[in-house]
Structures are given as structure tokens and as C-alpha cells.
């Protein structure tokens, strides 16, 4: 055999003295119908010749590329862990994730002025015939009008942290916002706080998770008489976090506790408190959400809801695989809600 040519399945079969069909079945793992010696000969021949499966040919034969498009940037430690969970499940099933995103991961991509970049990236994945898609919220919103096209092409889509409540056309994995926000509210009220602020994010179209988180917190607080609550939000670009936190902390009377819908917003409260000469938690208690990698290293360490991003990633990947292995239209799209855990640290105390 020429050294310039990659070994073919035919070469493996010839070296092992078996038929081409037998070599193909054994190398695909279908070994029950063959003797142990025959299987070992084929596997040894494949190793010695350096034969590798041609997944392009396999994809043509089966209609499956065994590739999943993953449009999730490693934006922070939460999304890094989501990606880890996705990778673990796909790798164990011999699927390859192709991960793409928009931007440099320093800022969340803004699609308010047009979603061409998001559409371009998704089109790149579809052009490579990925078997399924896993999307983070902004890409899901950017490609929303094309979801039915994907359903017709039998390309399963799973969205993380976004639910299409009006027209559920894709599976979604999200945090159980209602239960988690209620746990935060009960923690602060159990400490005796009666004047509480909520600092939310931009609440753009793809931040439906933030809306549900804030509304669930408001609902939990309002179910208790005698507790005052005021909500604050960042502007649509998320560029005024420090200014909003300063305004929040200079109210008269000043809130004794602040719930921030993510740890990123909690950082603004820490910065504003330091600028105003306020102490955490003596002058104001602060609670975040996510338990990002910096939360425990803040001074004082941040009380926060610890989400389960790796579990969310695992479930998202498994849901895509289940859709591929089963009857695509048998079960309607579903929403899987994942719990979180309240981690109490030094940033909360009695008022």
C-alpha cells in the first residue's frame, strides 16, 4: 500500500482476511455475531494500518454528521460550566460540539440594532449540516423567525435560559426562577428587612429570565404585609450600573437590603457602597444570583443563589440527543426547570 494514501476499510479487511462487510460491522461495534479471534484480527489490522473512520462518508450514508452546533460564548463562569456539561454528554455519545459565538466574550452581544451577526453564525452551522442546535438566549431570539424552518428540517433546538411562552416551538432549560427568588425573599425577610430594593438587568427581549426572576421576587415580597419593595433596572445597554446603584443607595429612607438579579449587578452595589462610604452588610445587605467565580472572593463574600450550570448543560445536550434518537414530533417542546441553592455568606445580616 502506498504510504501517500490513507488506509481504507478495504485495506483493513484484506489484512484481517475478512469480508468488507464484516470489517465494517466489527469496526462499528457490531461484534456479537463474529468470533473473538475475528474481531481481534480486524481491530489489530485497523490499528497497525492507522485506519480511521471517515465520518463524512458515514454522514452521507446515515444523514447524520454527529455534530451539534453550540452557540454559547464562555462569557463568565456560569456559561463556562454550561459548556462543560454539554461537552461531557456529547463526548460520551460520540458527538462533536461546534462552538461559535459573536463578539470577544468581554461583553454580551447586543442584537437590538440588528441580528445579522447571529443569523450568520447559525447559518454557518446549518451549512455544515449540524444535527442539532443549543443556543443561549440572544441567539434564540435572533433566530426565532426561522425555528419552524428548523422543525421542518428535523433539526432539534434547545435554548438555555429562555422560554418562548407565547408560542413554544423549542425545548428550553432554565433555572426555577420562582422557587429561587422566593428563597431569596424569605432569607431577607427572616433577617428582619422591611425596606428592600431589587436591582434588575437590562431586561431586553432575550433576558426573559431576568424578568421572571424580578417578577417572582416581587411576588414573594408583596405576599408579606409591611415590607416595602422598589425595583431598579439598568438601561437597555447595561452601561449605567454604577449610577443606578448609587441612586438606589441614596434613597431616603435607604433600603436595608438589595437583591441583584445576577452577581454582575451585585458588583455595582458593592462599588457604589464603597464610593458612598457604606458598609456591607452593616449598612446594607446584598444578595446576588449565580455564584460566579468571583462571588466568594468579594469582601465580604457575597450571599447568592448558586445555580447548577453544569447540570443545565448536561440536560440540554441530552435533550438534543433524545430528540435525535426518538420520534421528533412525538412529544411537543418542553421546558425543564433546574433548581439552585442559597449560599449564605457575609454580605447579609440583620438590618
> Shortest CA distance to 208 belongs to which of 246, 170, 239?
170
On the CB side of 252, CA atoms within 13 Å amount to 0
Q: Is the peptide bond before 34 cis (omega within 30 degrees of 0)?
A: no
- Shared-domain flag, residues 190 and 295: yes
- Shared-domain flag, residues 257 and 268: yes
- Shared-domain flag, residues 185 and 98: no
Is residue 347 a part of any domain in this protein? no
pLDDT band, residue 2 (cuts 50/70/90): very low
- Shared-domain flag, residues 251 and 303: yes
* Complete DSSP assignment for 57-88: HHHHHHS---EEEEE----SHHHHHHHHHHHH
Q: Is the peptide bond before 41 cis (omega within 30 degrees of 0)?
A: no
Q: Which domain holds residue 88?
A: 63-175+310-337
Between the alpha carbon of residue 132 and those of residues 97, 209, 237, 242, the distances in Å are 10, 23, 31, 40
pLDDT in tens, 213-263: 999 999 999 988 889 999 999 998 889 999 999 999 999 999 999 999 999
Is residue 317 a part of any domain in this protein? yes
Q: Which residues touch 262 (CB under 8 Å, ≥6 apart)?
A: 201, 210, 288, 289, 290, 292
Model confidence at 264: pLDDT above 90: yes
Is residue 184 a part of any domain in this protein? yes
Domain count, the chain: 3
Is residue 238 a part of any domain in this protein? yes
Mean pLDDT of 129-139: 86
* Complete DSSP assignment for 124-160: HHHHTT-SEEEE-HHHHHHTGGGHHHHHHTT--EEEE
**Which grid cell sits at 24?**
465494517
The answer to which of 144-158, 171-185, 186-200, 336-350 has the lowest mean pLDDT is 144-158
- Shared-domain flag, residues 188 and 300: yes
Q: What is the CATH number of the domain that holds 325?
A: 3.40.50.2300
Is residue 2 a part of any domain in this protein? no
Is residue 222 a part of any domain in this protein? yes
- Shared-domain flag, residues 140 and 98: yes
Please, are residues 159 and 140 in contact by the beta-carbon 8 Å criterion? yes
- Shared-domain flag, residues 182 and 297: yes
- Shared-domain flag, residues 45 and 91: no
Is residue 27 a part of any domain in this protein? yes
pLDDT in tens, 313-338: 999 999 999 999 876 556 788 889 99
- Shared-domain flag, residues 128 and 182: no
Residue 118 has a pLDDT of 74
Is residue 343 a part of any domain in this protein? no
- Shared-domain flag, residues 236 and 271: yes
- Shared-domain flag, residues 169 and 138: yes
- Say which DSSP state 224 is in: S
Residue 271 has a pLDDT of 98
- Shared-domain flag, residues 124 and 187: no
* Complete DSSP assignment for 265-297: HHHHHHHHHHHHT--TTTT-EEEEEE--TTGGG
Amino acid at each position: 500500500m502506498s504510504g501517500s494514501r490513507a488506509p481504507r476499510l478495504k485495506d483493513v479487511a484484506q489484512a484481517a482476511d475478512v469480508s468488507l462487510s464484516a470489517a465494517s460491522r466489527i469496526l462499528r461495534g457490531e461484534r456479537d455475531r463474529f468470533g473473538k479471534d475475528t474481531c481481534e484480527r480486524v481491530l489489530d489490522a485497523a490499528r497497525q494500518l492507522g485506519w480511521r473512520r471517515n465520518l463524512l462518508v458515514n454522514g452521507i450514508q446515515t444523514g447524520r454528521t454527529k455534530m451539534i452546533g453550540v452557540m454559547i460564548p464562555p462569557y463568565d463562569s456560569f456559561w463556562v460550566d454550561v459548556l462543560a456539561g454539554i461537552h461531557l454528554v456529547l463526548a460520551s455519545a460520540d458527538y462533536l460540539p461546534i462552538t461559535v459565538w459573536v463578539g470577544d466574550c468581554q461583553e454580551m452581544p447586543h442584537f437590538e440594532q440588528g441580528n445579522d451577526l447571529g443569523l450568520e453564525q447559525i447559518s454557518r452551522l446549518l451549512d455544515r449540516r449540524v444535527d442539532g442546535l443549543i443556543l443561549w438566549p440572544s441567539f434564540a431570539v435572533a433566530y426565532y423567525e426561522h425555528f419552524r424552518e428548523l422543525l421542518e428540517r428535523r433539526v432539534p433546538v434547545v435554548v438555555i435560559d429562555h422560554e418562548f411562552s407565547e408560542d413554544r416551538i423549542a425545548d428550553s432549560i432554565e433555572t426555577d426562577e420562582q422557587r429561587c427568588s422566593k428563597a431569596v425573599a424569605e432569607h431577607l425577610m427572616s433577617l428582619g428587612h422591611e425596606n428592600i430594593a431589587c436591582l434588575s438587568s437590562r431586561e431586553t427581549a432575550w433576558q426573559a429570565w431576568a424578568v421572571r426572576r424580578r417578577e417572582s421576587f416581587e411576588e414573594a415580597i408583596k405576599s408579606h404585609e409591611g415590607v416595602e419593595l422598589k425595583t431598579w433596572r439598568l438601561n437597555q445597554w447595561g452601561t449605567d450600573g454604577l449610577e443606578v446603584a448609587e441612586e438606589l443607595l441614596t434613597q431616603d429612607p435607604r433600603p436595608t437590603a438589595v437583591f441583584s438579579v445576577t452577581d454582575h449587578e451585585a458588583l455595582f452595589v458593592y462599588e457604589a457602597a464603597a464610593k458612598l462610604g457604606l458598609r456591607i452588610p452593616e449598612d446594607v445587605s446584598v444578595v446576588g444570583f449565580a455564584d460566579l467565580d468571583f462571588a466568594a472572593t468579594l469582601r465580604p463574600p457575597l450571599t447568592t443563589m448558586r445555580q447548577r450550570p453544569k447540570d443545565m448543560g448536561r440536560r440540554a445536550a441530552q435533550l438534543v440527543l433524545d430528540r435525535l434518537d426518538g420520534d421528533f414530533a412525538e412529544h411537543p417542546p418542553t421546558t425543564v426547570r433546574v433548581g439552585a441553592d442559597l449560599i449564605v455568606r457575609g454580605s447579609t445580616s440583620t438590618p
